[in-house]
Amino acid sequence: MPELPEVETIVRGLRPRLTGRVLTRPRLFHADVLSGVTRLRLVRALAGNRIEEVTRRAKHAVFRMASGHRLVIQPGMSGALLVFPRPLRSAERRYAVLVAGLRKGGTLVYRDVRRLGTVLLLDEPAWRAYTARIGPEPLAADFGIGDLAARLSGTRQAIKKVIMDQRRLAGVGNIYANEALFRARIDPSRAACRLGQAEVARLYRAVRAVLTEAIAAQGTTFRDYRTGTGERGSFQFRLDVYGREGEPCRRCGGRLATTHAIDARSTTFCWRCQGPPR
């Protein structure tokens, strides 16, 4: 679920509440989210460890710990990261995957209904290798049109699939891929390497604009997503295409269509403005 704007919103909420705080009594309730670390090693590494910095990379929340480890949480489809200024109530423990107390009060929770998320514990070299495999941040100040063009060249895969590929571009998921392609008036099924310069430029501006606006709206809440303090986002009210199948296109008034032909993910688009996917 959470894409770049949602994780960015979560991280901004957590940062002032977690930076400098020491984790106590960490507990992992579902080991199936772990990747490359055992429950025992994770719990031992977190207990008594201080959070130095809370950041985002792609769709991951990254907690840099005083020990030099990074706790990396990728919320998957249904994950939420929440901080409470008190112990958890019983209803708040539902679907909890990882819970840790905060010394001097408070609780950090990673909650994930479907548990498609991932929890990693990486030392410095492992973190460097991990982040190196992920594509550039589309909102970075030094990310330009030429960088996007370079990431799109050399593949005939559908442009929608390519911009969702985390190795090529960080943080764009299904919702914002749909939205950006609509804004850029590009057929989602077009081969990435066949886009013209003007189309790449439109896509560049569309991706940056939709992500920026979604962050300002605190993300898109359909069901599970919450900010780091439990609020809903509001970008669901501003979507042009995602979730609007059959409704009128905001640009031309035509009926929006949905296909699952691209990477088996729902793609909603306007035939008239974006042309037919093959």
Partner DNA sequence: ACGAGGTCCTGCGAGC
Partner DNA sequence: TGCTCGCAGGACCTCG
Q: Which residues bind DNA (CB under 7 A)?
A: 1-3, 6, 32, 58-59, 74, 76-77, 113-116, 154-158, 161, 164, 166, 173-175, 219-225, 260-261, 263-266
The residue (of 1 and 99) whose beta carbon lies closer to DNA is 1
Q: Least distance to DNA from the beta carbon of 151, Å?
A: 12
59 is catalytic: yes
Q: In angstroms, rounded to a whole number, what is the distance separating the alpha carbons of residues 153 and 176? A: 21
The identity of residue 16, as a single letter, is P
Instruction: Count other C-beta atoms under 10 Å from residue 246's C-beta.
Output: 9
- Residue 167's SS3 state is coil
The residue (of 23 and 192) whose beta carbon lies closer to DNA is 192
Tokens read off for 135: 């594509």
Q: Least distance to DNA from the beta carbon of 230, Å?
A: 13
Are 212 and 179 contacting, i.e. CB atoms less than 8 angstroms apart?
no
3 is catalytic: yes
CB neighbour class for 92 (10 Å; exposed up to 12, middle 13-18, buried from 19): middle
The residue (of 102 and 206) whose beta carbon lies closer to DNA is 206
Alpha helices in the chain (DSSP H): 4-18, 39-46, 124-132, 145-152, 159-164, 174-183, 197-216, 271-274
From 59, 111, 160, 202, the catalytic residue: 59
The residue (of 157 and 212) whose beta carbon lies closer to DNA is 157
Catalytic residues: 2-3, 59, 265
